[in-house]
Every structure is written in structure tokens, then in C-alpha cells.
Amino acid sequence: MNHLSYLSFFRPLYGILLLATIGRAQESAPSEPASVSLPVIVGEIAANNPELKFYEAEIAAAKAGLRGAGTYNNPELGFDVGRRRLKDPSGALIGDGASWGVSVTQTFEWPGRIALRKAVANRQVDLAELGLSRFKLALEARARSLAFGLYASAEKSAALREVADRFAALKETFLARDPAGVTPLLETRVIEAQELAIQRRATEAELAAQAALIELNQLRGVPPATELRASATKLLFNSAPDLDVLLVAARENNFDFRAKKLELEQQGFAVQLAQNERYPSFSVSPYFSQAKAGDKEQNYGIGLSIPLPLTSRNRAAVDVAKARQNQAEVAVLLAQRELERTVLTSAHAFRAKVAESQRWSSEAVQKFREAADLADRHYRLGAVPIATYIELQNSYLDAVEALLDTKIEALEAGLLLQQLTGVDFKPVEIAP
């Protein structure tokens, strides 16, 4: 068999071996995580977040306290047994026999006290339910911010790695040549310095993406190392209502402010309860007793017991409750001031960031990218100076980072404004 026939005989075998090797390499290569849209990530977090159980347990505890506040004390059963001995005035024994008695004691609260305790407990249930609602809204906002932050960090990292690879390839080209003169050597050093700086920025972007991924996985209730990649997301921002509308809505719907007002109402009931508790509870005791010492003797009736003194009790508790009520009133006033300041600041920030992001055209980043690529090609041909080349590469990266950072800031400001006011004006929507 000659050489050509030998090769033609083994060529199919080589092809099979090559295909098998490629197949094994593809199987062993790590697969990219599937892209998940932002609404899917937010919905998964809202459904599976483990912290929800804490607030649900808080509501259950508050409702259990409400049931306990509306119940009376359990009655007490008393029983006594002994012997009875009767003697005449001279001391002679007349009779001797057993004696026993039974009684039931029920303590009753002063009128109105049970209703006041139930009112205080009712406000505790309202606070627990308010806390759950506030947590759900904050959780959804945090999930949206983290999911878009994960996507933005990945986009920044990709752009930075692209430019860093461009500098690295250019550096290798320069190093492969024999530099003649000072100018090529200095340009090589400039390219090396730019590569190092951009590699550092790329590493920071990757670390930011990893931090967002870990927090997202914790919110999802999955292992922190679970891979997740947010799909390309285009945000659409809607206009916020007028400032007067936002302030009125915030005073009515803001969770923290409503919680302060509920605490003030609860403290008002606590003052009334402390005043009511100055009057004592009283106990009613039906009883029956029997003794047999010569003759059979039976006694029955009802007893009433009240601790003394009847008034001037619990003055210290009333003073403490009134002081707490005064503190709650001041807390409501301070909370209103803080709420109004935060709403106005967030509204101005949201409008400014949305207006800034809308000044960017949809093709702005792509144009900067094309310009950077064009500068790379012409610099290699000697048609573009190094200063222009570096400026265009950095302008492309600055444009990518500025646009993504502006969108993140507008997203966070809009979500915060929605949380503060409770107005679902849909500050951010996902474009189809």
C-alpha cells in the first residue's frame, strides 16, 4: 500500500476520532447558565423568600395575643377537709366528727378593662400586618434593583474586557516588533498602563456582579453559588405624579408613618388601660361546707373579696403611659417631617435621572463602540494618533458605565418613591 492510499484509508478514522474528541470537550466544558428575565427573578424571590415566614409568624403571635387579651381569668376551685369538735361551756366534749368544704372563686376585671386590652392587642395585629406588607414591597424593589444591577455589571464587565483584550492584542503586536526609537517604546508603555487600569475596572465590575448574584440567591432561598444570568433588559420610565399628590398619598399610605400613628393610637389605649387599672379587680366565691359533730351542720353562700385601698392605685403606671404617649406624638411629628423631606428628595432625583437617561439615544453606546473599533483598526495602520485612540476607547467605556449607572439610579429612585407613597404609578416597566 503506497503512502496516498494509506492516508485515504485512515482519513475516515481520523475524522471519527476528531468528532469524538470534540464531543467529549463540549460535554466537559462548563455550560453557560440560562438567561432569566427580570420579572421571573422578581416573582421567584417574592414567592420563595425565607424571611416571609418571620413576618407571618409575627402576625400569628399578635393574633394569639389578641385572643388572650379577650379572655377572663380561669376560675379557682378550693377544697378543704378536717375534723370538728364541739364542747360545752364546762369543757365537756359534746361531739366529734368530720368537716369539709368546697368553693369556686372567679375574678372579674373592672368594667371596660377587657375592651381596652383588646384594643391594644388589635393595634399590635395591625402593626404586624403592616410590617408584612412593607417587607413584601421592599423585597420586590430590592429584587428589581439587584436583578438589573446583575445585568448592568455583566454589561460593564463585557465592555471592559473587550477593550482590555484590544489593548492586550495591541501590546503583543508592539512587543513582537523591534522598537526603533523612543516613540514606539513610550506608546507600548502607554498601552500597557491602559490595559492594567481597564483590567482593574473589569475585575471590580465582575466582583459587583458576583455580590449581586450572591444576594439574589439568598433572597431566592437557593445556595449562594447557584449560577444565574439576567437577560438583556430595557427599562421604560414613566412620569411621577405631582408633588402635592405624592405628599398626600405618603401621609396616608407610607408604612413607617402609618406605623407611628398606630403606635400613637395604641399608646392612647394604654393610657386609658393604666387609668382603668387603678381600680382593683374583685373576686366572687360561691361556697358550700358541711360538718358532722353530733348534729349535722351545712353552710353555703357567696363571698366577695376586693383588695384595699379601692382608689389611688397604679399612679406610677399612669404617669409612665402618659409620658410614652407624649413621646409617640413627637415621634409622629418627626416621622412626618422626615417623610416629606424624603419624598421630595426622591421625586426630584427620579425626575432628574429619568430626564438624563432619556437624553441618550438608543444607539449611542453602539456608536461609541463602533468608533472605538474603527480607531483600533486605523491606529494599527498609522492613521490615528495614540491620544485619539486611547480617548475613544475610554469614551466608549465611560458611555457604557454612565448610561447603566444612570438607569440604576433612576430605577432605585423610582422604586423608593413608590415605597414611600404607596402610589403604584409604575415608575419602571420592562420593554418587550
pLDDT tens by residue, 307-365? 776 555 567 778 888 888 888 889 889 999 999 999 999 999 999 999 988 888 778 88
The alpha carbon of 102 is separated from its chain's Cα centroid by a whole number of angstroms, namely 58
pLDDT tens by residue, 2-15? 433 433 433 444 33
Domain holding 326, by residue range, is: 41-86+101-227+237-425
Q: Where are the alpha helices (DSSP H) in 29-89?
A: 38-48, 52-69
Highest mean predicted confidence (pLDDT) among 120-134, 170-184, 186-200: 186-200
pLDDT score of 149 more than 80? yes
- In this structure, is residue 128 part of a structural domain? yes
Cα 251 to Cα 332: distance, rounded to the nearest angstrom = 11
Q: How confident is the model at residue 16 (pLDDT cuts 50, 70, 90)?
A: very low
Task: State the first-to-last Cα distance of the chain, in angstroms, to the nearest integer.
Answer: 65
What does the pLDDT average to over 70-74? 70
- In this structure, is residue 80 part of a structural domain? yes
- In this structure, is residue 430 part of a structural domain? no
Cell of 27: 460535554
CATH of the domain at 185: 1.20.1600.10
- In this structure, is residue 408 part of a structural domain? yes
Instruction: Please give the tally of structural domains in the chain.
Output: 1
What does the pLDDT average to over 138-162? 87
Cα 101 to Cα 106: distance, rounded to the nearest angstrom = 17
Q: Which residues have C-beta within 8 Å of that of residue 412, sequence separation ≥ 6? A: 145
Who wins on pLDDT, 287 or 251? 251
Diameter of the chain measured on Cα atoms: 151
Answer whether 402's CB lies under 8 Å from 136's CB.
no
**Roughly what angle, to the nearest 10 degrees, separates helices 38-48 and 113-176?**
140
What pTM, to 2 d.p., does this model score?
A: 0.68
Cα 125 to Cα 131: distance, rounded to the nearest angstrom = 10
Extract the runs of DSSP E, i.e. beta strands, from 110-187.
Answer: none
> Which residue's C-alpha cell is 491602559?
194
- In this structure, is residue 161 part of a structural domain? yes
pLDDT tens by residue, 194-224? 888 888 988 998 898 888 888 888 888 888 8
pLDDT tens by residue, 261-275? 888 888 887 887 777
> Which residue's C-alpha cell is 424593589?
141
- In this structure, is residue 116 part of a structural domain? yes
Cα distances (angstroms) measured from residue 207 to each of 30, 203, 210, 407: 20, 6, 5, 20
Answer whether 226's CB lies under 8 Å from 216's CB.
no
- In this structure, is residue 232 part of a structural domain? no
